[in-house]
């Protein structure tokens, strides 16, 4: 689990309060709490699945979820959003939909239940406080006897696991898009200033430590003549089969530390030349790396994609991130 801190407080005879600290930033916790594609991955006690049938996320908008138990039994719930303050606070009614009483066979709370979810920013962590207000103390007692506290804590366990996965994915996030049949665009965010990323990208002593990605590869040649008209050449030796892989090109444009335009060719394949444009954008101490790859033809681009370049790029940029952490 992440940094878990459960507490339940009977602050009033009509209210249940449940608190959990999640090891994830507030914006992310709010996002997975409010977007159907994420809600369906964690909502409900362990072993349950949830189907979001309606989500009109605005004051006055309605929501409807159907929780499906391990035995296939469905538990429908719905409500109306009363207050929405991203990413801080959500107030909504919480009602048992038609058919719920028949499947649980219990005396349900009869009055209106209002839930207030409060998201507090704790640097890179989030304290989530869920306040469940009932119309009467008797309704609160009935809700507790249904297992609402254990159910929510189990659901929070699922949310904790889902957030941990999302945080890990964000650290290693690489986005690859195909704007046209001759283009590839790769994007990755690094928790490092732009100047440091540019130096790691262009200084041989750094490039030798991250370029190539695969652990069986060793860089035997790293030549960089960083000037317009200057050339670069890298050679990777694959110890698993004794093969050398040469990459080379020419610098066309250099704007320190923002932009680098160069050609690239994979030397074993004739006419594999393409144009790479590297752009680095910094915000709040983090750098977004954007690589635009322009091929001569759709066939050339497709061949590049089919070579396993996405996996190789992912591994390579993960190693670059490790280097940035070590030299930052």
Q: Catalogue all structural domains in the chain, each as residue range(s) with its CATH number.
A: 7-171 (3.30.530.20), 175-327 (3.30.530.20)
Distances (CA, A) of 250 to 148, 261, 284: 65, 9, 32
* Whether the predicted pLDDT of 8 surpasses 70: no
- Length of the chain (residues): 328
Residues 262 and 274: beta-carbon distance below 8 Å: no
The number of beta carbons lying within 10 Å of the beta carbon of residue 80 is 17
* Whether the predicted pLDDT of 280 surpasses 70: yes
* Whether the predicted pLDDT of 9 surpasses 80: no
Structure tokens at 195: 């100047």
Residues 198 and 256: beta-carbon distance below 8 Å: yes
* Whether the predicted pLDDT of 103 surpasses 70: no
Give me the numbers of helices (H) and strands (E) for the chain, helices first please.
Answer: 9, 17
**Which residue carries 């538990």 as its tokens?**
75
- The pTM is what? 0.55
Average pLDDT, integer, range 153-166: 94
Helix 148-171 with 137-145: angle, nearest 10 deg:
70
Residues 47 and 28: beta-carbon distance below 8 Å: no
């Amino acid at each position: 689990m992440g940094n878990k801190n459960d507490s339940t407080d009977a602050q009033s005879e009509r209210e249940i309060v449940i608190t959990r600290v999640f090891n994830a930033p507030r914006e992310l916790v709010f996002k997975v709490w409010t977007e159907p594609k994420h809600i369906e991955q964690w909502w409900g006690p362990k072993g349950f699945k949830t189907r979001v049938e309606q989500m009109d996320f605005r004051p006055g908008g309605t929501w409807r979820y159907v929780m499906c138990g391990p035995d296939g039994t469905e538990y429908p719930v719905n409500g109306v959003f009363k207050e929405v303050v991203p990413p801080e606070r959500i107030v909504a009614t919480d009602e048992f939909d038609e058919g719920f009483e028949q499947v649980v066979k219990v005396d349900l709370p009869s009055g209106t239940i209002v839930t207030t979810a409060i998201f507090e920013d704790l640097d890179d962590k989030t304290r989530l406080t869920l306040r469940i207000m009932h119309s009467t103390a008797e309704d609160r007692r009935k809700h507790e006897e249904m297992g609402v506290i254990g159910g929510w804590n189990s659901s929070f366990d699922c949310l904790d696991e889902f957030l941990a996965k999302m945080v890990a994915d964000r650290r290693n996030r690489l986005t690859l898009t195909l704007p046209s049949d001759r283009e590839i665009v790769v994007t990755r965010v690094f928790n490092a200033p732009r100047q440091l990323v540019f130096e790691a990208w262009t200084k041989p002593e750094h490039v030798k430590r991250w370029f190539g990605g695969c652990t069986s590869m060793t860089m035997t040649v790293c030549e960089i003549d960083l000037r317009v008209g200057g050339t670069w050449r890298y050679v990777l030796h694959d110890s698993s089969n004794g093969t050398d892989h040469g990459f080379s090109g020419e610098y066309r444009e250099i704007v320190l530390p923002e932009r680098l335009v160069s050609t690239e060719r994979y030397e074993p394949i004739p006419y594999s030349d393409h144009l790479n444009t590297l752009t680095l954008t910094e915000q709040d101490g983090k750098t977004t790396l954007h690589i635009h790859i322009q091929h001569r033809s759709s066939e050339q681009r497709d061949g590049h994609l089919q070579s396993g370049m996405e996996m190789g790029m992912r591994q390579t940029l993960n190693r670059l991130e490790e280097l940035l952490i070590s030299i930052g």
